[in-house]
């Protein structure tokens, strides 16, 4: 079974995917079963990760979720400390919109010892940070400047550079808690230029925004904050 293959297949068949992002620092194990039960029926994946996570928390959280849910659990790590062998797959991220070697290669090299003896499926993923109207923690932690929403050719070229260098997924990120999500125009342009599946996340809080992202061509949408605090406008 390949999780990447499932995402690719869904993309080909135009079956839209919805990933719920769990930030281990904000996850309350005591309410875990309630949280899982309340997830929308459309949820297809659970991502686990955050910009900064207290050491060791990721493993605990992944184990709790794996016990309660059948959904694939995919790591979406902010750094190498957030790698857990109990998850199903790992987005092996490179922050290709930025020019900070720490998140282009250093964290990746540092994660190898933790990954190489696990069964985690490694999914090379190009990660592009786009301005969402506020300074998000990914911007602060990565010390990179997001691409502006107007810079569409630059965003498309960055995405294509990711695909040409072998990334299997492309993630358009406005940052957790973004004021506004990645625009439909950006998603349309990136999707039509690329052959690989496109993931979109950051600042999506309503069914309208979710539909808009899907209609623009997102294969998978990631929602964290709005499910975390129960504020999603369904």
Does 225 sit near ligand 1GP (CB under 6 A)?
yes
Scanning 67-75, 81-89, 185-193, 217-225 for contacts with ligand 1GP by CB under 6 A, the matching segment is: 217-225
Does 201 sit near ligand 1GP (CB under 6 A)?
yes
Q: How many CB atoms lie within 10 A of CB 197?
A: 23
| Residue 173 labeled ligand binder | yes
Binding mask 172-191 for ligand 1GP (x = CB under 6 A): -x--xxx-------------
- Eight-state DSSP code of residue 30: G
In angstroms, rounded to a whole number, what is the distance separating the alpha carbons of residues 123 and 89? 7
Does 78 sit near ligand 1GP (CB under 6 A)?
no
In angstroms, rounded to a whole number, what is the distance separating the alpha carbons of residues 162 and 3? 20
Scanning 7-15, 33-41, 154-162, 171-179 for contacts with ligand 1GP by CB under 6 A, the matching segment is: 171-179
| Residue 203 labeled ligand binder | yes
Joined tokens for residue 173: 């990120």
Restricting to residues 19-48, name those near ligand 1GP by CB under 6 A.
21
Could you tell me the smallest distance in angstroms from the CB atom of residue 116 to ligand 1GP?
26
Q: Which of 141, 136, 143, 135 is nearest to 100 (CA)?
A: 143
Does 204 sit near ligand 1GP (CB under 6 A)?
yes
Does 72 sit near ligand 1GP (CB under 6 A)?
no
Joined tokens for residue 35: 């949280």
Does 202 sit near ligand 1GP (CB under 6 A)?
yes
The strand pairing partners of 93, in sequence order, are 125
In angstroms, rounded to a whole number, what is the distance separating the alpha carbons of residues 172 and 63? 28
Kindly give the pairing relationship between strand 121-129 and strand 17-22. Answer: unpaired
3 vs 171 by CB, closer to ligand 1GP:
171
146 vs 202 by CB, closer to ligand 1GP:
202
Phi, psi of 18 (to 5 degrees): -130, 120
| Torsion (CA) 227, 25, 51, 140 in degrees, nearest 10 | 100
| Residue 174 labeled ligand binder | yes
In the complex, the residues that contact ligand 1GP under the rule CB under 6 A are 21, 173, 176-178, 201-204, 222-226
Residue ranges at the known binding site: 23, 51, 171-177, 202-203, 224-225
């Amino acid at each position: 079974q390949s999780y990447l293959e499932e995402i690719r297949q869904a993309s080909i068949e135009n079956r839209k995917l919805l990933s719920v992002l769990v930030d281990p620092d904000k996850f309350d194990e005591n309410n875990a079963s309630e949280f899982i039960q309340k997830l929308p029926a459309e949820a297809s994946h659970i991502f686990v990760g955050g910009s900064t996570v207290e050491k060791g928390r990721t493993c605990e959280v992944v184990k709790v979720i794996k016990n309660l849910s059948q959904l694939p659990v995919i790591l979406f790590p902010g750094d190498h400390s957030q790698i857990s062998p109990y998850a199903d797959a790992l987005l092996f991220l490179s922050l290709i919109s930025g020019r900070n070697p720490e998140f282009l290669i250093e964290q990746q090299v540092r994660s190898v010892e933790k990954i190489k003896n696990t069964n985690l499926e490694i999914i090379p993923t190009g990660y592009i940070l786009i301005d969402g109207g506020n300074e998000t923690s990914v911007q602060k932690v990565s010390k990179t400047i997001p691409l502006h929403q107007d810079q569409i050719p630059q965003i498309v070229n960055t995405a294509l550079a990711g695909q040409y260098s072998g990334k299997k997924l492309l993630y358009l990120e406005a940052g957790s808690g973004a004021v506004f999500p990645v625009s439909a125009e950006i998603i349309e342009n990136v999707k039509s230029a690329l052959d690989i599946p496109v993931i979109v996340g950051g600042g999506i809080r309503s069914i309208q925004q979710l539909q808009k992202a899907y209609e623009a061509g997102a294969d998978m949408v990631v929602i964290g904050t709005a499910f975390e605090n129960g504020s999603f406008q369904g």
